Every structure is written in C-alpha cells, then in structure tokens.
C-alpha cells in the first residue's frame, strides 16, 4: 500500500479516494476525481436521520447526477450546470467546503507529458484564436514545463492532490490548534473547570461526534459552540433550568446543555431524532440525560437556529442573539469564548474580534431590527437589562440603527418608543 503520510489521515478527518484515470480533458468533471469526491462527501450522511441529513443527501445526489450526465456541445462540455457546482464548492451550503478541503484525491495530472500532448494543449488546439492569444497560450504552457521534470508527472503516474493549507494547518506542530481533530478531555476540563471530570469524560465522545456530524471542523467554530453551551449550562454543570418546574411555561422549561424551552421546540427535536420527548415528564427528562443533553445542543445550534453559519463568520454577537434571543449573559458567554479560543489555540482565525470586543456595526445584528434594538437596551445605562457592560454611546448607536430599520418597516409606534429612549440618553 502506498504511504501517503506519516500521519494518521483518517484520525485527522481526511478521506483518501482514488479516481479513475481519464485522457479526455473535456470530460474531467464527469469521469475523474470530482464525482468520486462528491460521492465521498455524500457518504458522510449515510445512515443519518433527520431533515437536514435528508436534505443533504438529496442535494448531493442532484450534484452527482448533474456531473455524471453533463452533455457535450461539440468538443466542449456544456457548462450550464457548472454554476451550481462552482457555487456549491465555494459556499457553506451543506458543509461541502469543509468536507472537500479534507479530501486527498489520487488522479492523473493535467500537466504530464510534452507541451503538445497535455490536456491544456489539446484544449488550446481546438480553439481558433488570434495570433496574440495563441502566443499568450504558448507562454502559459511554457511556464508549466518545469513540472515535466517532477518524476511523478514525467512518468505519467497518478499523483495525490490535497488542500495544502488545510493539511499544513492540521499537522503543524507549532500550531496544534483544534482544527480537524477531536478535542481532548484535558481541553474540555480547562474550558469548563467547574464541571465534574467524570461527567465531562462521558460527554466528550458526543461532543467530538457532534463536531464531525455537523461539520464543525475549525477550532474557532468549536470555541463558539462550546462558549454558548458553557454559559447556558453553568459551565457544563447543569442540564435543566433551575426553578424550571415553577416557571409559567412548565413543563416545557429548559433542558439540555443549550436549554431547550417551549413545547414546539421539544416537538421539533423529537421529530429530528424520531423519539418521544412530549408524552410525560419521563420522556421530557431524557433531554436532561446523556447523550441527548449534548445531542440536543448540536441540534438547536446547527439545525433549529442555524447558528453555525454565523459562527463560521466569527460573528459572536449574532450567535449570542440567536441562542438567547437577546444578550442576556453576554459577558459570561464571551468569557467562555475567550477561554475556549485560548485553550483550543484559535486566535489565529480571528475575523471580527477587536481590542474592544465584537462590535455592533461589524455584526449581522446591525441589519436585524429586533437585535439592533436589543443591543441598545442591553447597553443602555438607564435600563435594567443585565449581562453586558453599560455604554451610552453603544446604546445610542444601536437605537439609531434600530429606528432606521423600524422606519423601513413602517412601524411608527416602535420608532416613537425608541426615539424616546434616545432623548433620555441624550440628556443623561
């Protein structure tokens, strides 16, 4: 068996596939590694239950059919379906980029053999271009001639191709971040130091399985998820809401590491995992217990609220708004986030965090009237909402943005209410 690496690639979430060789450049998309890659990504959802997995299977099946059935127009492929394929590979739809970056694919090279016999050369031959364009194409081919001297290319052997930055990020001994690997028990204990180690040892496999199943591969994305779980559960020490039995919304009070609340949420989670969480307290309390206390958190975060797409953009403010509905406990959440980032070595993937923290205007909450207004209220020194630092200027900035958004909606009553808060702050 050919040795690819001294590293255990499968444990690093890389997947190796070997494509069928092809000599026709115009059919590369149909007959080379691309279809095998799509099938490999699709296999991640085999046996998975729930609407997201079903939707993913249908999406990938469609891409595979399109690739296999792509027609030719003369000597060239019909590119009418390429936009869908290109878009899929360059967006976060169904986690394609995350899986695709972890593929190591063996296929024959586009560059082997002589200048007149490469696939690129054959494409250029079939085109009737001006003398200037032909000369430019020739220069392009000449610039790649050095690859003829690389033994695997010169021998026309198939070679392994991989995403170099993704690969180096994972095996970099100096970085040692949590990208593409399981988090350890020691890391989880450091992130949630108040929790019992034996309980965290029980939770750990479900966390790592959840990260893989939902495509949370990047260390900073893991930090976002763990921060929200830690705040919602008192540092992974609680799996049910304190005083929940006395709440007005009992028996549908918060359960799980991200507290599932209200009957409709219990219903949706039950439908997702095909299990009863509604019939009685015994059924509801399954969410308190392992593995549902962890699994329900991933469902709420990734499926019910689709928070994961904002975590990918490092948008901590929007992540918090979606989980909480506002900014209750914001400072505690960011404390856990900073702790997780430090322990999982995720600082190098910072996108939005400034010295002052995550700014209102950098977040998607800037474009959501409810969350813009909520940011204003939580930072308003004249109001009692707790969990954030009080800041007059931050509150005014958010209130004024909220006024603009509510004016666009034509909600004059809300605009008047917010303007009264702005006036009060102006004289504060």
Mean pLDDT value across residues 44-50: 59
Record the tokens describing residue 160, joined without a space: 């392994």
Q: Return the closest-CA partner of residue 41 out of 32, 33, 29, 31.
A: 33
Tell me how far apart the alpha carbons of residues 223 and 191 are, in angstroms, rounded to a whole number.
9
pLDDT reported for residue 73:
45
E strand intervals along 24-102? 72-73, 76-77
Q: Is the pLDDT of residue 405 over 50?
A: yes
Contact partners, residue 370, CB within 8 Å, separation at least 6: none
User: In the predicted model, is pLDDT for residue 41 greater than 70?
Assistant: no
Q: What is the pLDDT of residue 352?
A: 96
For 366-376, what is the mean pLDDT? Answer: 98
Per-residue pLDDT, averaged over 128-150, amounts to: 63
Instruction: Calculate the CA dihedral of residues 284, 287, 290, 294 and round it to 10 degrees.
Output: 170
Which of residues 161 and 295 earns the better pLDDT score?
295
Mean pLDDT of 11-33: 57
Please tell me the predicted confidence (pLDDT) of residue 168. Answer: 64
What does the pLDDT read at residue 318?
A: 98
The span from the CA of 153 to the CA of 114, in Å, is 10
Structural domains in the chain, CATH included, are 10-171 (no CATH), 185-367 (1.10.530.10)
Element (H, E) at 18: strand 15-18
Alpha-carbon torsion 136, 138, 139, 143, what sign? positive
> Could you tell me which residue, 66 or 172, shows the higher pLDDT?
66
CA distances to 190, 233, 303, 324, 372 from 228, in Å: 16, 9, 15, 9, 20
Closest CA to 374 of 428, 413, 322: 322
- The pLDDT tens digits of the residues spanning 78-92 come to 555 555 555 555 555
Return the percentage of the chain with pLDDT > 70, whole number.
63
Cα(309)–Cα(224) distance, rounded to whole angstroms? 11
Average pLDDT score over the chain? 81
Enumerate the β-bridge partners of residue 353: 358
**Apex CA 205: angle with CA 17 and CA 43, to 5°?**
25
Please state the pTM of the whole predicted model: 0.67
Token digits for 55?
């939707």
- In this model, does residue 313 exceed pLDDT 90? yes
- How does residue 428 score in pLDDT terms, banded at 50, 70 and 90? confident
What was the pLDDT predicted at 392?
97
Phi/psi of residue 72, nearest 5 degrees: -110, 140
Pairing of strands 15-18, 103-107: parallel
According to the model, what pLDDT value does residue 75 have? 46
Average pLDDT over residues 50-57: 60
Contact between 335 and 372 (Cβ < 8 Å): no
- Structure tokens belonging to residue 411: 């909600």
For residue 294, the model assigns a pLDDT of 97
Contact at 8 Å (CB) between 200 and 185?
A: yes
- Give pLDDT, residue 259: 94
Mean pLDDT calculated for residue range 145-165: 64
Q: Does the pLDDT of residue 231 top 50, yes or no?
A: yes
Q: What is the pLDDT of residue 404?
A: 97
What proportion of the chain, given as a percentage, has pLDDT over 90?
A: 56
CA distance 228 to 298: 11
Q: How confident is the model at residue 114 (pLDDT cuts 50, 70, 90)?
A: very low
Q: How far apart are CA 83 and CA 95, in angstroms?
A: 17
- In the prediction, which pLDDT does 61 show? 72
Residue 14: its pLDDT value, please?
A: 73
Query: Which pLDDT value is given to residue 127?
Result: 54
């Amino acid at each position: 068996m050919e040795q690819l690496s001294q590293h255990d690639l499968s444990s690093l979430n890389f997947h190796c596939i070997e494509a069928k060789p092809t000599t026709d450049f115009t059919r590369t998309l149909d007959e080379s590694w691309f279809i095998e890659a799509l099938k490999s990504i699709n296999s991640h959802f085999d046996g998975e239950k729930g609407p997201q997995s079903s939707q993913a299977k249908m999406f990938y099946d469609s891409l595979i059919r399109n690739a296999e059935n792509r027609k030719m127009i003369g000597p060239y492929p019909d590119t009418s379906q390429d936009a869908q394929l290109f878009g899929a590979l360059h967006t976060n739809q169904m986690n394609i980029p995350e899986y695709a970056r972890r593929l190591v694919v063996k296929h024959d090279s586009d560059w082997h053999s002589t200048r007149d016999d490469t696939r690129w050369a054959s494409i250029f031959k079939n085109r009737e271009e001006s003398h200037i364009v032909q000369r430019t194409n020739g220069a392009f081919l000449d610039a790649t001639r050095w690859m003829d001297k690389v033994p695997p290319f010169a021998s026309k052997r198939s070679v392994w191709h991989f995403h170099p930055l993704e690969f180096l990020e994972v095996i970099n001994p100096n970085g040692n971040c949590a990208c593409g690997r399981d988090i350890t028990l020691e890391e989880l204990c450091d992130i949630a130091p108040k929790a019992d180690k034996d309980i965290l040892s029980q939770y750990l496999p479900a966390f790592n399985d959840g990260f893989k199943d939902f495509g949370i591969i990047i260390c900073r994305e893991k930090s976002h998820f763990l921060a929200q779980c830690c705040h919602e559960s008192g540092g992974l020490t609680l799996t049910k809401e304190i005083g929940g039995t006395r709440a007005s919304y009992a028996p549908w009070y918060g359960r799980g590491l991200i507290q599932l609340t209200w009957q409709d949420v219990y219903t949706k989670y039950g439908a997702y995992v095909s299990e009863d969480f509604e019939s009685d307290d015994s059924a509801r309390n399954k969410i308190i217990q392992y593995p549902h206390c962890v699994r329900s958190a991933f469902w709420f975060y990734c499926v019910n609220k689709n928070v994961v797409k904002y975590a990918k953009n490092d948008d901590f403010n929007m992540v918090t708004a979606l989980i909480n509905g506002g900014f209750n406990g914001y400072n505690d959440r960011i404390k856990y986030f900073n702790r997780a980032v430090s322990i999982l070595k995720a600082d190098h993937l910072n996108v939005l965090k400034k010295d002052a923290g995550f700014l209102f205007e950098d977040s998607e909450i800037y474009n959501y009237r409810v969350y813009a207004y909520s940011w204003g209220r939580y930072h308003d020194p004249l109001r009692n909402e707790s969990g954030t630092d009080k800041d007059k200027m931050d509150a005014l900035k958010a209130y004024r943005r909220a006024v603009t958004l509510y004016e666009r909606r034509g909600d004059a009553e809300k605009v008047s209410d917010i303007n009264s808060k702005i006036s009060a702050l102006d004289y504060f």
